[in-house]
Structure 1
């Protein structure tokens, strides 16, 4: 864990948990129970990782997210990797970093009553936070989220036209004072790090947040997003979730692929 003063599950995932043995000791019996409990679950888990290519403690957390995502046949697990910018002055500028992601992490510090922010940090369903490489705690939190009761819902539709991404959305449920968080996600990428704490390493990332938007969860207004540099239409998705303003708890989540205006018209 690197403090900074500025502040998963079907049977196919048994292999995932076994792969996590390198991170934490979890018995086969425990793994089977976690897998079985989550297989028919109705809940969801939004897993937000705050990470940076400039932090030497982050690659194990990135690798954990990759293992979870590779085994993620349960579509109710939503991984989002936010690359913060406060490590960019340590000798390497993370090309995926954005100040807005650091600000989001700072907002969690307020919601969760933390005195500082750090990398790598994982927040699950906006309710609990963990050191991002703590596989046992992260997997347990995901399992708990999948076993939870869902009262709200959200649906998303996207289209690409004239170099822009347009998102229509609809949220329903009991939350009146809530925000719909929309994240454009690049599913995987690699970087050859030339300087800083990870100098000389090739780092792999999954579920990288490349654009972020906040809208009133009760609004039906179409959202327009700019497409980031490197966007090619393949290997991307949109994830959206409803988050309570008072405490950050996430009450609904959804994902959708991206389609062009021509595809949408078919």
Structure 2
């Protein structure tokens, strides 16, 4: 685990080794109408992050039709330490710092935030599995439905929200399902890293508007990319609903 103490001027890093006893195949059975949004804050410059990436890749592979939504945010504060992560974005570091205030947690990689309500070390398989079980067993506060039509480099969205969407916002993540990078410097020097569910863009909309438009990367296609929508409380950070966007 790599720990960043606030304020960011003093950057203190701690390393730890986590032994995981459970396998990703021991995923909880989905019996309710809950969902699990797993937001991983990671970096190619962090030697503790590849095990978390691998764990989420297994969860993604074995999730099947369960409402499990994985989002990997590559933060940028590791870039100053020898390797610039091409997937990093300062907006994702800002999102992690917002969570640190809302959850009263520290800032570190790999950190996993579950439904905006709790967090754990992203490579701690037992903690991740238990958090998913709790999330799937908790009823969703709202329902989100989104449809999209592709229109020459853009997606035209239509959506509706049922439930109390007051003080909430609609977030739509543009997600690259898989990528591989060869790291030539930093803590992972010489390693070939595999990533899943990489957030390449994150847009915010008014949930009451009913329609919106979002720009897509030039290489976007429906086999290698997807859109994931979320309703999130602006004050608490709690995610009240989530869904994949059919294209």
In 2, the alpha carbon distance for the partners of 1:170 and 1:244 equals 16
Aligned to 1:4: 4
Point out 4+ residue stretches in structure 1 off by more than 4 angstroms.
none
Q: Which moves more between the two structures, 241-250 or 119-128?
A: 241-250
Aligned to 1:24: 20
Measured after TM superposition, the shift of residue 91 of structure 1 is: 1.4
Matched, 1:70 2:61: yes
Matched, 1:215 2:224: no
Matched, 1:105 2:96: yes
Contact conserved, 1:2 with 1:118, CA < 8 A, in 2? yes
> Which runs of 5 or more structure 2 residues have no equivalent in the other structure?
9-17
> Which runs of 5 or more structure 1 residues have no equivalent in the other structure?
8-21, 259-266
Alignment of 1:200-239 (within 5 A): 200-225=190-215, 227-228=216-217, 230-239=219-228
Q: Which of the residues 166, 169, 186 maps onto 1:179?
A: 169
Aligned to 2:11: none
**Bigger proportion of residues as helix:** 1
Matched, 1:48 2:39: yes
In 1, the alpha carbon distance for the partners of 2:146 and 2:172 equals 9
Contact conserved, 1:236 with 1:257, CA < 8 A, in 2? no
Q: Which of the residues 181, 184, 187 maps onto 1:191?
A: 181
TM-score, structure 2 as length reference: 0.89
TM-score, structure 1 as length reference: 0.83
Q: Secondary structure at the match of 1:182?
A: strand
In 2, the alpha carbon distance for the partners of 1:157 and 1:131 equals 34
Measured after TM superposition, the shift of residue 99 of structure 1 is: 0.7
In 2, the alpha carbon distance for the partners of 1:229 and 1:119 equals 30
Aligned to 1:262: none
RMSD: 1.9
Measured after TM superposition, the shift of residue 23 of structure 1 is: 4.6
Matched, 1:253 2:242: yes
Q: Secondary structure at the match of 2:211?
A: coil
In 1, the alpha carbon distance for the partners of 2:130 and 2:194 equals 24
Q: Deviations over 1:168-210 (max 9, x none)?
A: 2221212311011110111111111111111110101111101
Q: Which moves more between the two structures, 171-180 or 58-67?
A: 171-180
Q: Secondary structure at the match of 2:47?
A: coil
Relative to structure 1, the CA distance from residue 230 to residue 122 in structure 2 (aligned partners, 3 Å threshold; closer, same or farther) is same
Q: Deviations over 1:121-154 (max 9, x none)?
A: 0000000010111110111000111111123111
In 1, the alpha carbon distance for the partners of 2:66 and 2:245 equals 11
